Structure 1
Amino acid sequence: MRTALVLGTGLIGTSAALALAQRGVTVHLADRDPEQARTAAALGAGTDEAPDGPVDLAIVAAPPAHVATALADAMRRGLARGYLDVASVKGGPRRELEALGLDLSAYIGTHPMAGREKSGPLAATGDLFEGRPWVLTPTAETDTEVLNLALELVSHCHAVPVVMDADAHDRAVALVSHMPHLVSSMVAARLEHAEEAAVRLCGGGIRDVTRIAGSDPRMWIDILSANPGPVADLLTEVAADLEGTVQALRALQSADEDKRREGAAGVEKVLRRGNAGQVRVPGKHGSAPRVYEVVAVLIDDQPGQLARIFADAGRAGVNVEDVRIEHATGRQAGLVQLLVEPKAAAVLTAALRERGWAIRQ
C-alpha cells in the first residue's frame, strides 16, 4: 500500500491516517467539514488535497447510517482499488450496498475495536489501535487483493485481525459494547439529581461503571440506530434479571423468615452469575483472566510519584501486572493499587516499605 484516502476525519479516521502516515503511506484526507480535514492534516495525518487518481485503499470512516451512501459514491467514482469501512455495525451497511446493486468484490467491512470518550481529529492518536482487535468481515466474493490491503492496514496500525461473519459481529458488539454503554448511561443518570452528599461518596466502583457514559450521545444514536434489534434483545434479558433482583430485594424486607431466605438466594444467584461471566473477560494480553494480589500504596498527588513507585518495584524485581488509582476525596493524595503475582506481593510490600512508601491493607 502506497496511497490511501480517508473519508471522514473524526477520531477513528484520523487515528488510522496518522498510523499510515507514520509508516510512509501517502494519505489523502476528506470530510464533509473541510475544516476538520484541515485539522487532521495539520496534525500530520496526511494532506487535504485530492489525489491525482485512484489510490490503493479508500477508508470510509463515517457513522453507520451514512456508510453505504459514502461507500457507494466512492466506488462509483472509482476512487480506489479497494474499499473498506470502519463502522461499528457491519450487517446493515453491507445489505444496503447489495440493494444498490454494486459490485462488492472490491469492498470489505471492518471494525477496529478501539475508541475514546472524546471524538474528533484532536482526540486522535497514531497508536489508538495498538494491540486491539480489528474485525474483518470478508465474504466469498471479497477479492483477495482487497483482503490483503485490509490486513496491511491492520498491521500498520499494530492491531490484531479477527475474521467474523458480519451479523455475528453485530450480535457480539451488542453484547460487549452497545448494551453495556446504555446500562452505564442508565446508572449514571441516577446521579443527575442525586444529593451532593451522596455524590461526594463516589469511589472506584461507580467511576468504573459510569466511565463510558461520558461519550457523545449523537455518535451513539447513530450506532444504536444501526443495531437496534440485538441490543433490544439483550436489554430484555437484563430487564428480566432486574425484575427478579428487585423482587428478591423486596423479599429481604419481609417479616417472613422463609421469604427472606428466598430473597437472599435470589440476590446470591445473580451475583454468582455475575462472577461466572466476569471471569470470562479476557485478561492481560488477551489470555485467560488470572487472579492477582493487590499491594495498595498511599501516594501524594505530586509529579514523579508514579515513576518512583514503578522504579522501586522494578528494583525489587517485581513486574506490575496492572494498576488502579483511587483518588482520596478532599485530599491531595491517592491510593495506588499495584496488581502483582501472588508470590510477588510480600516481596514488593517489604521493598516498598523499606523505601518509605505507606502501605495500606
Structure 2
Amino acid sequence: MSADPLRLALLGLGLIGGSVGLAARERLGARVVGFDPDPQVRALALERGVADVVVDDPAALGPADVALVAAPVQALAERIAQACEHVEGAVVTDVGSTKHALVESIKAPNYIGGHPLAGAEVAGVEHARADLFAGATWYLTPRADSEGILLERLHRFVTGIGAVPTVIGHADHDRLMAAFSHVPHVVANALVTQATRALGDEAIPVVGPSFRDATRVAGANPPLWAGIYDANRDAVLDGLDATIALLAEARALLAAGDGPAVESWQAEVGAQRRALLDIGMTGGPLREVRVVVPNRPGVIADLALTLSRAGINIHDMSLSPQPDFRSGEVALWVAEGHAERARELVEEVLS
C-alpha cells in the first residue's frame, strides 16, 4: 500500500462491516467509503463515523486498496461480484462463515475469502465497535493462484485492525467451522428441544449453569443461521453423523455400568477440551524466515497454505521484489518454535 491513507470500500454496514470501518479509521487512519442497500443503515453508519462517505450504489464506491463485503450469506456472491467489478485496484474479501462454495464459484483474481471469528449477541451498525476484532482469529482462504501481493496487503490490513490473520484452505475452513461452530449450534438447538419435552407441563425451576452454558447459542439469529446451515450443508451433515456416532458410543459406555471406564472417559474428554482451548493461545516470541521465491502466480499462497496445513501460522509477512521482477524476497514471521520446520517446508515447496 502507498504512503497515502489506506482506502477501504465497505459493502455492508451492519455489526461486522461497521466495526471494520470504525477499526480501520481509528487504527489505520483509513478513508472509508461505504455502501448498504438500506438507507436507514447508511444514515446511521455516517452518523456513527463508520465511513467518511456512504453511497447508494456499489458502482459509486470508487477505487480502493481493500474492499470488504459484509452481507448476509445469500447475498455474498452478488456483493463480491459487484466489488470485483466496481472497486478498482482493490483486493476483495468477505466475512462469510462458509468459504468453499464462494472460493470455487468466484473466479475474479483479486478475490480472497475471509472470515473473522468475532461477533456479538446483538446485530446492527448501532452496536458496531472498533475493538470487536482485537486478538480475534481472522481466517484468509486464498486460492492456489492468488497473487502474493494481494495476500500480503490483506494480511497487513487484518493485522492493522487488531485481528490475527490465519491462512487456511477453503475446504479445511468449512470442515473446521462445521465441527467448532455449526454442529454445536445444531446440538444446542436439540438440547433445548429435549429439555422442553422432558419438562412437559411442569413448572419446575431446573435450569442450571450446565444447561445455560451448553445452550447459549440455541436459536440464534434464525435467518443468518438458516443460511449458514444451507451454505455448509455437506460438512454439517458429516459432522452430525460423527456426533450421532459418538453419542451412540457414549450411550453404550453408560449402559455398561463400568464406573472406572466412565471416569476415564470423563477425564480424557476434559484433557482434550483443555488442549483444544489452549491451541493458538500460548503466543511467544517470533522468528523471521526469509527466502527468495520466483515471481510466479500463487507461490506465496502455496507457501502460506502449506504452513497452515502443518499448523504453522504466519503472524506477519513482507514481500520485496527484486529489480528484475523475476524473483522476490519474502520474509515470514512465525512462532520461534515453528521456525525450523517452517524453513524446511518452504524449501520443499520451492524445490
> Residue by residue, what CA displacement relative to the aligned partner does 1:294-328 show, whole Å, maximum 9, x if unpaired?
xxxxxxxxxxxxxxxxxxxxxxxxxxxxxxxxxxx
The yes-or-no answer on 1:40 pairing with 2:41 is no
Query: Matched residues in 2 for 1:243 and 1:134: separation?
Result: 35
Contact persistence 1:40–1:46 (CA under 8 A): yes
Alignment deviations for residues 170-222 of structure 1 (CA, whole Å, 9 cap, x no partner): 11111111111111222123344635643x23232222111122520110111
2:77 paired residue number: 68
Structure 1 residues 49 and 10: CA distance shift in structure 2, 3 A:
closer
- How far has the Cα of 1:240 moved from its partner? 1.6
Which one of the candidate residues 149, 152, 156 is aligned to 2:153?
149
Residue in 2 that maps onto 1:161: 165
1:138 corresponds to: 142
Change (3 A) 1:146 1:182: same
The alpha-carbon distance between structure 1 residues 266 and 36, as it changes in their structure 2 partners (threshold 3 A), is farther
1:186 aligned partner:
190
Q: What does 1:188-267 align with in structure 2 at a 5 Å threshold?
A: 188-192=192-196, 194=199, 197-198=203-204, 200-249=205-254, 251=255, 260-261=257-258, 264=259, 267=262
Q: Does 1:55 align with 2:64?
A: yes
Amino acid at match of 2:94: D
Q: Please state how far the C-alpha of 1:86 moved relative to its aligned partner.
A: 1.2
Alpha-carbon distance between aligned partners in 2 of 1:96 and 1:12, rounded to the nearest angstrom: 23
Tell me by how many angstroms 1:223 deviates.
1.2
Partner of 1:340: none
Distance of 2:146 and 2:114 partners within structure 1: 12
**How far apart in 2 are the matches of 1:154 and 1:69?**
23
Structure with bigger gyration radius: 1
Partners of 1:241 and 1:270 within 8 A in 2: no
The reply to whether residue 279 of structure 1 matches residue 284 of structure 2 is: no
Provide the C-alpha distance between the structure 1 equivalents of 2:179 and 2:220, rounded to a whole number of angstroms: 18
**Mind listing any 5+ residue stretches in structure 2 that lack a counterpart?**
284-351
Identical amino acids, percent of aligned pairs: 33
Distance 1:218 1:268 in 2: 41
Distance 1:284 1:144, change over 3 A: closer
Equivalent residue for 1:174? 178
Give 2:97's aligned amino acid: S
CA contact (8 A) 2:103 2:143 kept: no
Partners of 2:9 and 2:202 lie apart in 1 by 49
Report the count of equivalent residues: 272
* Cα deviation code 1:227-279 (max 9, x no counterpart): 11111111111112223333454x3xxxxxxx544xx5674465345224212
- Does the C-alpha gap of structure 1 residues 48 and 225 become closer, same or farther in structure 2, counting only changes over 3 Å? farther
Question: Which SS does the other structure have where 1:279 is aligned?
Answer: helix
8 Å Cα contact 1:111-1:135 kept in structure 2: yes
Matches of residues 93-112 of structure 1 in structure 2 within 5 Å? 93-98=102-107, 103-104=108-109, 106-112=110-116
Specify whether residues 196 and 286 from structure 1 end up closer, same or farther in structure 2 by C-alpha distance, changes over 3 A only. farther
- Which one scores higher on RCO, CA 8 angstroms, separation ≥ 6? 2
Query: Cα–Cα, structure 1 residues 272 and 234, in superposed 2: closer, same or farther, change >3 Å?
Result: farther
TM-score, length of structure 2 as denominator length: 0.70
Instruction: Give the aligned partner of residue 16 of structure 1.
Output: 20
Change (3 A) 1:285 1:140: closer
What amino acid maps onto 2:90 in structure 1? R
TM-score, normalised via structure 1 length: 0.68
Aligned to 1:305: none
Q: Which amino acid in structure 2 is aligned with residue 234 of structure 1?
A: G
Q: Please tell me whether the aligned partners of residues 58 and 80 of structure 1 are also in contact (alpha carbons under 8 angstroms).
A: no
How large is the Cα RMSD of the aligned pairs?
Answer: 2.5
Provide the C-alpha distance between the structure 1 equivalents of 2:42 and 2:228, rounded to a whole number of angstroms: 22
Cα distance, 1:48 vs. partner? Answer: 4.6
1:127 to 131, 149, 152: 131
Distance 1:9 1:148, change over 3 A: same
